[in-house]
Structure formats: C-alpha cells, structure tokens
C-alpha cells in the first residue's frame, strides 16, 4: 500500500455529492474539517482492508475475492468509484477469507483509524454495514436469472457506478476481464461472450471486453430489472 504525500479535504472533492464517505462525514457533522489520505495501488495488486480505517474508492476499480479452501479465489463483488472498500474492517469484522485486488490503477481515500478505534463513530459505520446486506440478497436473486439478464445486471451496476463516480468518458466501463465477470455472475465465460454479442448487435453496447461502452442504458436496465 503506497500513500501519496498530499491529504485531501472531502469538501473540495468533485465526487463529494455522490461519495459514500462524504455522505458519512456529512451525517457525522465533520465534513470539511476532516482530511483523507490518498492510498494508491497499481493494477493487479492484492491488498487487505485495514482495521479501523474507513476507505472509499476515488478512481479505478477493485474486485472483491473470497478465498476458498482449495486456494481458489472467486469474485463475489466489485467496487467502483465512490463506493466503500473494506467497510467491515473498520469495525474489526472483516471475514478472514475476503480480500481485494485492483482491476486497474486505483486510488483510495482513507480515514486512518486504529484497531478497536475506528476513524468515525461505530454506530454510523454499523448502519452503513447493515445497509450493505440488501445488495447481497439482490445479487443472490439475480443469480437465479438467465445469462442475458445477469450480464445486463452487471453492466448496469458498473454503468451506474461510473456515472456516480464521474468517469472520464461517459459510458466507458472499467476494464474487467470476461473471466472475472463470469465468476461474479456464476456463468461460463462463453455465456458472457454470447450475451455481450447480443447486446452489441442490438446497439446497446460497443467495444471489446477491455473497453466496453454502454450506449443505451435503458434497455439494459429493463432487462436487468427482470433478474431482481
């Protein structure tokens, strides 16, 4: 984990209106008086969440991994700009088998706390952690849908996060591999490719797997809604 020399005031951040950490600081009544540290990770690097720290993704993308007994790590979620990373660790309850790996060069904004002494009130952090359970149930329901619906759900998830995170090019999604998308969706890689080809033919998306671009979000959103 490498840290830049500068600190950042969330009040001055262009993402503050859509950033999970900025919202938490507003609720705690300390926005504008707290500085975050920038923590950078190169592409493809694994890292662990730090107990006591509260981190949010400033740029880039992170995949959330669950490490199986056979040492296989499967993708169980993604984190995009503006979203918390390792919120469980802030309260000292991060599962031992969960880890994180960057999809591309990534910058985190971090409030540094200490083990047993999180950087923000435990009650506020616990409320955010409880709210994070609902998307887990939604993901489990989505895994019962067809391949096209699941892939559409992933594209909408990434697209909405990109819109909130202020991506540099509208509609261009993070460069996530076909295998990681398939793992997250509980599909074979070939099924992901077929669904993406279908969406390209319909004009809903463009680009190859490393440069997917959402061109028509509404039909994807409608298809994804049928998976929930």
> Domain extents for the chain?
2-131, 138-225
Residue 221: partners with Cβ closer than 8 Å, 6 or more residues away: 152, 156
Residue range 138-225 forms a domain whose CATH class is mainly alpha
Residue 23: partners with Cβ closer than 8 Å, 6 or more residues away: none
CATH of 2-131, one of 3.30.360.10, 2.40.30.200, 2.60.120.10, 3.40.50.300: 2.60.120.10
pTM exceeds 0.85, yes or no? yes
Q: Is residue 4 over pLDDT 80? A: no
Where residue 1 falls among pLDDT bands split at 50, 70, 90? very low
Instruction: Give the per-residue pLDDT at 31.
Output: 81
Under DSSP, the state recorded for 103 is S
Where residue 72 falls among pLDDT bands split at 50, 70, 90? confident
Cα angle at 169 between 167 and 174, to 5 degrees? 60
Q: State the DSSP H helix or E strand holding residue 25, giving kind and residue range, or none if neither.
A: helix 20-28
Mean pLDDT is highest, among 16-25, 62-71, 104-113, for 104-113
Q: Using one digit for the tens of pLDDT, what is the confidence trace for 117-158?
A: 988 999 999 999 999 888 888 888 899 999 999 999 999 999
Contact 107, 59 (CB under 8 A): yes
Query: Which residue, 43, 39, 23, is CA-closest to 31?
Result: 23
Neighbours of 37 (CB within 10 A): 17
Instruction: Give the per-residue pLDDT at 7.
Output: 58
Q: Using one digit for the tens of pLDDT, what is the confidence trace for 28-58?
A: 988 878 888 999 999 999 999 999 999 999 9
Q: Is residue 168 over pLDDT 80? A: no
Q: Which residue has the higher pLDDT, 104 or 13?
A: 104
Maximum CA extent, the chain: 53
């Amino acid at each position: 984990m490498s840290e830049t020399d500068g600190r950042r005031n969330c009040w001055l951040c262009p993402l503050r209106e859509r950033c999970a950490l900025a919202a938490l600081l507003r609720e705690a009544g300390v926005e504008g008086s707290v500085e975050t540290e920038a923590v950078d990770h190169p592409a493809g690097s694994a890292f662990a969440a730090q107990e006591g720290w509260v981190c949010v993704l400033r740029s880039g993308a992170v995949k959330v991994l669950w490490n199986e007994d056979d040492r296989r790590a499967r993708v169980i979620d993604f984190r995009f700009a503006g979203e918390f990373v390792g919120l469980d660790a802030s309260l000292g309850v991060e599962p031992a088998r969960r880890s994180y790996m960057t999809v591309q060069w990534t910058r985190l904004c971090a409030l540094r706390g200490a083990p047993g002494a999180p950087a923000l009130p435990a009650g506020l952090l616990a409320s955010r952690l409880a709210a994070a359970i609902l998307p887990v149930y939604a993901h489990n329901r989505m895994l019962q849908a067809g391949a096209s619906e699941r892939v559409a759900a992933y594209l909408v998830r990434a697209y909405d996060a990109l819109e909130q995170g202020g991506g540099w090019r509208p509609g261009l999604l993070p460069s996530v591999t076909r295998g990681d998308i398939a793992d997250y969706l509980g599909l074979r890689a070939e099924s992901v490719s077929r669904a993406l080809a279908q969406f390209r033919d319909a004009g809903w998306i463009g680009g190859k797997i490393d440069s997917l671009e959402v061109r028509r979000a509404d039909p994807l959103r409608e298809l994804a809604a049928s998976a929930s």
